[in-house]
Structure 1
Amino acid sequence: MSSIKKRLRKEKIAKLLMQFSGILITGSLFFIIGTILYKGLPHLTLDMITQTPKGGFYIGKDGGILNAILGSLYLAGLSTLLAVLIGIPICIYLNMYVKKGSTLAKTAKLIFDVLFGIPSIVYGAIAFSIMIWLGVRASLLGGVITITLLTIPIVVRTLDELLQTIPAELNQITKSLGATRWESAKVMLSYIKPGLFTAILLAFGRAIGDVAGVLLTTGFSDNIPVYLDEPTATLPLAIFFQLSSPIPEVQGRAYASALILTFIILSIVICTQYLASKQRKNRG
């Protein structure tokens, strides 16, 4: 009887700890969003979204951060596209063409696990060295190279975990129908399409929110980039530079910029969840 009481006591303690953790995480999230709204919303204007910085913008004068908004979208969009185009074939090869449990498969997955955990500043330093070797200056292209290197492990490891959830019977059925490995791979990708959207979201979210990697490689400009070899402003760098200012007005604009960045990521999450739910309904 005493052992049952001990087990029930442990279960209650574990339940309380889980509830406390949930409340703590949720509270932290609301605190962060609340702080951004409280400090940023009064400084968020239409001009800030629709205009580029004017002379003296970073000392409190007129202008906006349209250059940083578009620069972030260009950078995150291009790098995510490249990461997906490179990461999907890698993942297909490791799961469809390489024997499961082989040394190559284990080594490759270990390498991508290590790459997944490397800080973005390291990728920035590596990309910066590559840019110097190629003679490429700090620009949108440099940022795309950096963030692509950063997001490829995210795409590969996320898709690899998703492919592990596919029932073995599905692969056996496609093979029994005479499908080639590539045809089987297309069936697998169709099966995990909602998860593929999640992988793209993770890569895009990491790309648009990174500051350490792009600090060395993209430069900064008050203009909207037209070509890949032009310096590019991003929202994280704009927030960083504005928060570094001692002027309260500029600091308020930094929180407004953070609010815009949060809204972009939230919009992507909602769109991705909608597409994933629609795909699940179609598959059902």
Structure 2
Amino acid sequence: MALLETVLGAHLSPREKLYALSLLSVAVIVATLLLAFAATFFAKAEPIFRKEGLGVYTWSVWLPSEDNPEAERYGLAAAIWGTVYVAIIAVAVSLPLSTALALLVTEYIPSSKLREVVSALSDAMAALPTIVYGLWGVTVLAPLLRDYVMEPLYECCRFIPLFSYEPTTGQSILTAGILMGIMSVPYVASMIREAYLLIPRSLREAIYSLGATRAEATRLLLGYIKPVVIAAALLGFGRAAGETVAVSLVVGNTFTISISPFAPGYTIAALIANQYGNAYLYTYMESALFAGGLVLLLLGVVVNVIGITMMQRWLRNIHGK
């Protein structure tokens, strides 16, 4: 009882304590579910850990065998590489676009009705099914990037390692990263927009009173919300790393580790989606896929905890707590 009073606060009334206890119970359930996820994934991945050790994360190989389980070899290095590469490109694309969209809505559109329309369209983009983005990416974006970006750069700059892979279909790490960047724009922009609107009015007035232009004021105010911008980028990174359907349609789905973003690749999420349906045919494939899921789980938890912590600290600072 004393521990509950310490957590919930002794000053609360019995009804308030009951309400707080119910909320605490929900938090405990959520934390327990997360631990259960991690335990399940680890238990499912244990066979491949016993067989391959940490090699499952350092090798780039995918050799299933129905007849001889000992001949099976699984390594997730290419999928891990592709996951990180796609997410980095997605952040590089989405962060400037999201910042521009947030500033446009909050600072530069004079009409309140027009601001509402743009915000509604942005929210509608966030609500679209990912398969819609994937189909658009494979039919429009991939050929467009191949014909007007990849092939010209390959023809003129193939001696540079970054452009050294000859594009064929357009399905590549670059296409997947740009598509995920576009998909992340509404998500990241909404966080930056909300933070920008929370900037104290007194700070805005102080900046303009010093004779700053709108562009100068915008630059200073963006600096003020820099922790939120970084946090939004981290959360966007986590979202891009975990995307499945859209990425699997445009990434190429091949076990390739290349510095060139023009090369096709694989992500962990796409690998799980593509291979899990027939994993039951093999002794160790399902276990290898759960080992990949562990990486996504760890990456998602770490990135989201860091991002949310940064946002909470910024909110406490602006509210003086």
How does the TM-score come out when normalised to structure 2?
A: 0.76
Query: Cα 1:149–1:277, aligned 2, differ >3 Å: closer, same or farther?
Result: closer
- What secondary structure is seen at the aligned counterpart in 2 of 1:174? helix
Alignment match, 1:258: 293
Q: For the Cα contact (< 8 Å) 2:60–2:76, is it kept in 1? A: yes
Is residue 64 of structure 1 aligned with residue 75 of structure 2? yes
More moved, 193-202 vs 76-85: 193-202
Alignment match, 2:266: 233
Alignment match, 1:34: 39
Alignment match, 1:106: 116
Alignment match, 2:56: 48
Which blocks of at least 5 consecutive residues in structure 2 are unaligned? 1-12, 148-168
Alignment match, 1:249: 284
- What secondary structure is seen at the aligned counterpart in 2 of 1:64? strand
Query: Cα 1:194–1:11, aligned 2, differ >3 Å: closer, same or farther?
Result: same
Residue by residue over 1:37-66, the C-alpha shift from the partner in whole angstroms, topping out at 9 and shown as x without a partner, is 222245342211111115448976224111
More moved, 205-214 vs 14-23: 14-23
Alignment match, 1:128: 138
Alignment match, 1:4: none
Alpha-carbon distance, 1:11 to partner: 4.9
Which blocks of at least 5 consecutive residues in structure 1 are unaligned? 1-7
Query: Cα 1:97–1:133, aligned 2, differ >3 Å: closer, same or farther?
Result: same
- Cα RMSD for the two superposed structures: 3.0
Q: For the Cα contact (< 8 Å) 1:50–1:64, is it kept in 2? A: yes
How many residues matched? 276
Is residue 155 of structure 1 aligned with residue 188 of structure 2? yes
Alpha-carbon distance, 1:259 to partner: 1.0
Alpha-carbon distance, 1:276 to partner: 6.9
Counterpart of 1:119 (choices 91, 116, 129) is: 129
For 2:317 and 2:199, locate their aligned partners in 1 and report how far apart those are by CA, in whole Å. Answer: 17
Off by >4 Å, runs of 4+ in structure 1? 8-13, 57-60, 269-284
The AA in structure 1 aligned to 2:243 is D
- What secondary structure is seen at the aligned counterpart in 2 of 1:202? helix
For 2:216 and 2:65, locate their aligned partners in 1 and report how far apart those are by CA, in whole Å. Answer: 55
* Percent of residue pairs bearing the same amino acid type: 24
How does the TM-score come out when normalised to structure 1?
A: 0.85
